[in-house]
Amino acid sequence: MAPQTALFDRLSTRTSGNGRLRGLFGRTRSRKIVLLACLSTAVLLLLYLGTYRDPLSGWSLGTMSFGILRGAGRLRSVCSPEEYAAGNWLYRPYHTRPGPLTKTYDTNSTILEEGDDDPFTENPAILRNMTKSQDIFNFTRFDGCASSREYFWHLAADSHKQFDRFPGPTEWEWVPGGRCKSPSGLRDWNREDVVKEFAEGGGWLLVGDSVTENHFFSLSCLLYPHVIGFPDYNKLTGMYDRSWAQHLYLNPDSPILKDINLPSGFNLSSTPLVTFRRVDLLWSKSELETMHKELHPEFYDTTSSEGFSLFGEERTWSIPPKEYLDIFYKPLPEGNYATMVVSTAGHWTTNLFRGYHLDEKNKKHDGPPIGYDALIGFYNEVMSRWAEDVQHRLTIEKSNDVSHAQRLGRIWSTKDSAGNRRRDKKVLVRAYLPGHEDCHKKRSPCEEIQPFQWNFWNWPIIWKFNEVFKNLLSVRSEHPDVIYLPIDRPGRLRPDAHSTGDCLHIMSGAGVLEGWSHYIWHFITREI
Ligand SMILES: *[C@@H]1O[C@H](CO)[C@@H](O)[C@H](O)[C@H]1NC(C)=O
Ligand SMILES: *[C@@H]1O[C@H](CO)[C@@H](O)[C@H](O)[C@H]1NC(C)=O
Ligand SMILES: *[C@@H]1O[C@H](CO)[C@@H](O)[C@H](O)[C@H]1NC(C)=O
Ligand SMILES: *[C@@H]1O[C@H](CO)[C@@H](O)[C@H](O)[C@H]1NC(C)=O
């Protein structure tokens, strides 16, 4: 890694991801013309949309989970999660674009089709063969990663045997579908803006299993060097626990600090911009046991000598919703979160939930139904309660906020004392992403989601777990602050983007995890 001072020197001359685009507008004679053109395009687009149906994705206004026309005054949506996910991966050699989230498909950057002769072959500055782990930064265009936990594992650069995969997985760009790909669609990623908005308007609390931890690591690279990771795993002696929270703090040496209007009470060394908490099941094990006994007494009524037990021996990390919602609501300087992103399903297997395990031996048992369909039934029941409880907490906190301000004789406002617009707290449920079979033999994205053959774990039915949340949260008015984000499709098309050791975890830098950050940032700043 380059020393940070040198990096910051480079930063001042280097433009961020959308520099090319800004340059384009700067050169235009009159910005007004551009503005007018944009406006009329928008009007035309709106008129056109009522009848529009995307031939590829099948997207139309009617398929959106929240329409622009529904709910007057919320004329906001420019790139819905469904449209975002309805795109495709485009071959774009890593050296023809400045980073994993840059948009080249509507600019005149070098376009190479897969299989084309690469005119850059002879250029010695373009790295073709990976020989050391550090080379991954050449391919991913990350300046580094702030998190230090399992560093090269997260980048899939920890095994010499698989160096020959690179630069392969870093050569693809996600082109979203629907209106997202228009200039006024998906917001261009700009890490400096993201950092500023996290500090001023509130940051993210990521709650989920090890795949969410992958997401956290990727974000620590996307925002590097403006953030620093905590804990510093390089300095740890002894074991660490996966239940520990991990944080990203603002880097006090970052040159963008002077442009940030920090909320009062914000402490550079203790107020996180982003936090990850390992929570595999969204409920604690004991809560699940209690609810199971209450909802399914039939499992416990039996006169059989061995009692029913919901869980087996498999380890898991999970805490009660109350505990992570308390973190979400921590006031400054301890907390400054506006968005909580949760995802679960991966650990909802009949190995962990051993009581639901169905095999040849207990196939003909005469007790209540077990197996995956029954487990999903239970999942539906407890996630329905989860959505109620979480929305309830958000509603209560919001009304407390208002009445507190009224008691103080202040008009309730979404601005803090530093004048920043505070973001409304939202909880986003990111659709879970299953793994791919035989992933290390796959060296490029696929165009369609591939069917499963071997039925590993619960991968083939992850979609059913996702449907549960989709259905539970389909009526926005019932859970206005808890929103389902079906943005799993880009990842489902990337069997080539897994870690070196397994086919579930996703490497940082291939565009999958980065795409989640990109879309979620767009969503909370543009769609709601
Ligand atoms: C791409 O290049 C062509 C020809 O040089 C030009 O007419 C067009 O405006 C360019 N498009 C963009 C988006 O820069
Ligand atoms: C790798 O990336 C660096 C910085 O972007 C660049 O200077 C260098 O020429 C690249 N190529 C090789 C072969 O290291
Ligand atoms: C680099 O990798 C390519 C493709 O895998 C291979 O054909 C070539 O021989 C390698 N070159 C060197 C110098 O190892
Ligand atoms: C900020 O947090 C650090 C670490 O918790 C603490 O030592 C310091 O006193 C705090 N600064 C202020 C101004 O509260």
H or E, element range at 351: none
pLDDT at residue 297, rounded to an integer: 94
pLDDT at residue 472, rounded to an integer: 98
Q: Which residues contact residue 141 at a Cβ distance below 8 angstroms, ignoring those fewer than 6 apart?
A: 94, 97, 98, 99, 100, 170
Considering its fold, how many domains does the chain have in total? 2
Ligand closest to CA 20: 1
Residues found in the chain: 528
Q: Can you tell me which atom of ligand 3 is nearest the CA of 129?
A: 1
| Paired tokens of 434 | 């299953």
pLDDT at residue 416, rounded to an integer: 78
Ligand closest to CA 109: 1
Task: Please give the model's pTM, rounded to 2 decimal places.
Answer: 0.85
pLDDT at residue 360, rounded to an integer: 83
Say yes or no: 203 and 328 in one domain: yes
Q: Which of 21, 27, 104, 108 gets mutated to test ligand 1 (max ligand atoms within 8 A of its CB)?
A: 108
Let me know if residue 168 belongs to a domain.
Answer: yes
71 CA → ligand 2 middle, Å: 51
128 CA → ligand 3 middle, Å: 7
pLDDT at residue 108, rounded to an integer: 53
Let me know if residue 174 belongs to a domain.
Answer: yes
173 CA → ligand 1 middle, Å: 20
Q: Residue 225: is the preceding peptide bond cis (ω within 30°)?
A: yes
Which residue has its alpha carbon closest to ligand 1 atom 2?
A: 108
Q: Is 27 touching ligand 1 by the criterion CB < 6 Å? A: no
Let me know if residue 34 belongs to a domain.
Answer: yes
pLDDT at residue 306, rounded to an integer: 72
Cα-only R_g, the chain: 24
Which residue has its alpha carbon closest to ligand 1 atom 5?
A: 108
Q: Is 342 exposed, middle or buried (0-12, 13-18, 19+ CB in 10 A)?
A: buried
Say yes or no: 54 and 110 in one domain: no
Say yes or no: 65 and 141 in one domain: no
Ligand closest to CA 121: 3
3-state helix, strand, coil in the chain (%, to 5): 40, 10, 50
Last residue of a domain, one of 39, 74, 109: 74
Let me know if residue 4 belongs to a domain.
Answer: no
pLDDT at residue 66, rounded to an integer: 44
Say yes or no: 360 and 469 in one domain: yes
Ligand closest to CA 333: 4
Per-residue pLDDT of the chain (528 residues; tens, 9 = 90+): 444 556 665 554 433 333 333 333 344 455 555 566 656 666 555 555 544 444 444 445 544 444 344 433 344 799 999 999 999 999 888 988 888 898 877 665 556 666 666 666 678 888 989 999 999 999 999 999 999 999 999 999 999 999 999 999 999 999 999 999 998 999 999 999 999 999 999 999 999 999 999 999 999 999 999 999 999 999 988 888 888 999 999 999 999 999 999 999 999 999 999 999 999 999 999 999 999 999 999 999 866 657 899 999 999 999 999 999 999 999 999 999 999 999 999 999 999 999 999 988 887 777 899 999 999 999 999 999 999 999 999 999 999 887 777 777 666 667 777 777 778 899 999 999 999 999 999 999 999 999 999 888 999 999 999 999 999 999 999 999 999 999 999 999 999 999 999 999 999 999 999 999 999 999 999 998
Say yes or no: 101 and 222 in one domain: yes
347 CA → ligand 3 middle, Å: 40
Say yes or no: 69 and 102 in one domain: no
Show the domain range for 516: 81-527
Which residue has its alpha carbon closest to ligand 2 atom 8?
A: 125
Q: Is 128 touching ligand 3 by the criterion CB < 6 Å? A: yes
Which residue has its alpha carbon closest to ligand 3 atom 11?
A: 129
pLDDT at residue 17, rounded to an integer: 37
Residue matched to tokens 């499992």:
299
Q: Is 107 touching ligand 1 by the criterion CB < 6 Å? A: yes
Say yes or no: 115 and 203 in one domain: yes
